[in-house]
Amino acid sequence: MAEQDKPDNAEAHAKADADGSTMDRIKTGAFERNVALTRMGVGAGAKIAGHTVRNFFRRGESKDEANRNFYRAQAKELADELGRLKGSVMKAGQMLSLYGQYFLPEEAVEVLATLQDNTPAVSWSFVEPQLIDALGERTIAKLDIQRKPIAAASLGQAHLATLKATGEQVVVKIQYPGVANAIDTDIRTLSRLISATRLAPKALDLTDVFNELRDMLVRECDYVQEREFTETFYDRLADNPRFIVPKVYPEFCAQRVLTTRYEPGYSVSSKEVQALSQSRRNALAQSFAELFVTEFFEWNLVQTDPHFGNYRVRIDPDGENDQIVTLDFGATRPFDKSFVESYGRIVRGSLQADRQEVARGVLDIGLMDASTPQSFLEGFGDLTELIVEPFRKPFDPMVPDRLYTPGGAYRFGDTDLPARVGQTAALKMMSKHFKIPPQEIIFLHRRIGGVLVTLKTLRAELRLHALLKPYLDLN
């Protein structure tokens, strides 16, 4: 394998294993997982009591700083324990960080957001029985499997293997034993733990949020569905030379096992990709943006996990046709046509300064209702008009001049848009009228945010207005 074809996450996890950070097993029983989290909840209660007493004697900024440090420490302890347990409760913690921006302290969201899918691997002896139970020894005998995983996540890990009959290299993704069966218990326990750590407001009913987390976890543990999504993307992108989707090997797939062709590549943030010329980085960025727009507006089917590990870059040694490798379709979500149309109204209205169009889309989606004050709708319009900044026409007066190239391309590498969006949201959206968005919005924005981060990482210079015109009937 050429040096450029070694995936960064594979190297990292091989190193982690060599350093002895591989875990022998994870706690899969409901009782032992409950004990671990309940023990933490009891400890959190004692810390809350001590913090409350100490804060009684503090004033002003001293009290605010103490609160921030307290929330950060509580969240760090929670994240550490979830990371040790892995499985559905860790994945739920990751997802909670997405919802948490609407009701958790900023410090807690920052800590939970660090629960990424690059955790220490679990020993082969722990996952091998799951593989045997799923495929049977006769089928497994057709594979030469490396026992050291090339990647490990919250729900499972991936092992490189070779098909003995053909010599093809494949990746066998194995779900950790007991993960799917622990979802209900994990969600209930995490819900109690969020309450015990006082990270969420006492009066806020999070029942719907945790029900949505449960539904999402059930989907992500269903490797049969993930296989179907992988095959769908494989078929739809088969004739597009800019993209590579791994081929699925059905004989080596089951409910908790998924086997696909090994498709190596570089991380978008790698030094090799960063060293590419501006035009080549622009071409990759344009492809990333076009793929998302096609998924949402054309297919109504979006891979909502933008983690850099799910998108690799295959560098063309001849310097002409770099490709994007798309991996891991477990977080793929279908969107109703009516939702796509309503969301399109918000985008179109934001680009054309049509507040009535924005309001229609917002009400259709259910972000607000008929009782929402006009002033709040106007504040939301201010926010969305800012968010669509990269998709405006060249030299739009609403965009700072410094963010355009002389040719009218938007400079993603220089933009401070996320900071401006955050400031505007804090100023305009702090209101009892704003609801926690439905999961469709949460996970769509997760992907949109990932696309924008990718374009910024590539330091892209693009004109994206034309990309939306066919779907939104723009001028």
Tokens at 207, concatenated: 């029942």
Looking at residue 64, its pLDDT comes to: 59
Q: What angle do CA 261, 266, 270 make, to 5 degrees?
A: 160
> Quick check: 434 pLDDT over 80?
no
In sequence order, what are the beta bridge partners of 143?
A: 163
391-430 pLDDT, tens per residue? Answer: 999 999 999 999 999 999 999 999 988 778 777 776 655 5
CA pair distance 378, 374, nearest whole angstrom:
6
Tell me the DSSP string of 173-196: EEEPTTTGGGHHHHHHHHHHHHHH
Spatial contact of 300 and 333, defined as CB atoms under 8 Å apart: no
Statement: residue 379 has pLDDT above 50: yes
Domain ranges of the chain: 25-116+181-217, 267-475
- Distance CA(406)–CA(443), nearest Å, equals 35
Element (H, E) at 428: helix 417-428
Q: Judging by beta carbons within 10 Å of its beta carbon (0-12, 13-18, 19+), is residue 162 exposed, middle or buried?
A: middle
Residue 236, judged by CB atoms within 10 A of its CB (0-12, 13-18, 19+), counts as middle
Nearest to 293 by CA among 475, 455, 95: 455
| Largest CA-CA distance found in the chain, in angstroms, rounded | 73
Predicted confidence band of residue 71 (pLDDT cuts 50, 70, 90) = low
Q: Which of 254, 324, 253, 313 is nearest to 290 (CA)?
A: 324
Predicted confidence (pLDDT) per residue in 298-337, tens digit: 999 999 887 777 899 999 998 889 999 999 998 899 999 9
Mean pLDDT score across all residues of the chain? 80
Report the percent of the chain where pLDDT is more than 90. Answer: 45
Pick the most confident of 43-47, 156-160, 198-202. Answer: 156-160
How many CB atoms sit inside 10 A of residue 181's CB? 15
Return d(Cα 346, Cα 350) in angstroms, integer.
6
- Helix, strand, coil share (%) of the chain residues, nearest 5: 55, 10, 30
Q: Where are the alpha helices (DSSP H) in 22-155?
A: 30-56, 60-85, 87-100, 106-112, 124-135, 137-140
Residue listed under structure tokens 């870059």: 313
- Where does the pLDDT of residue 339 fall: very low under 50, low under 70, confident under 90, or very high at 90 and above? very high
Are the C-beta atoms of 13 and 118 separated by less than 8 Å?
yes
Please check the confidence at residue 175 and state whether its pLDDT lies above 60: yes
The rounded radius of gyration (Å) of the Cα atoms in the chain is 23
Residue type (1 letter), 385: E
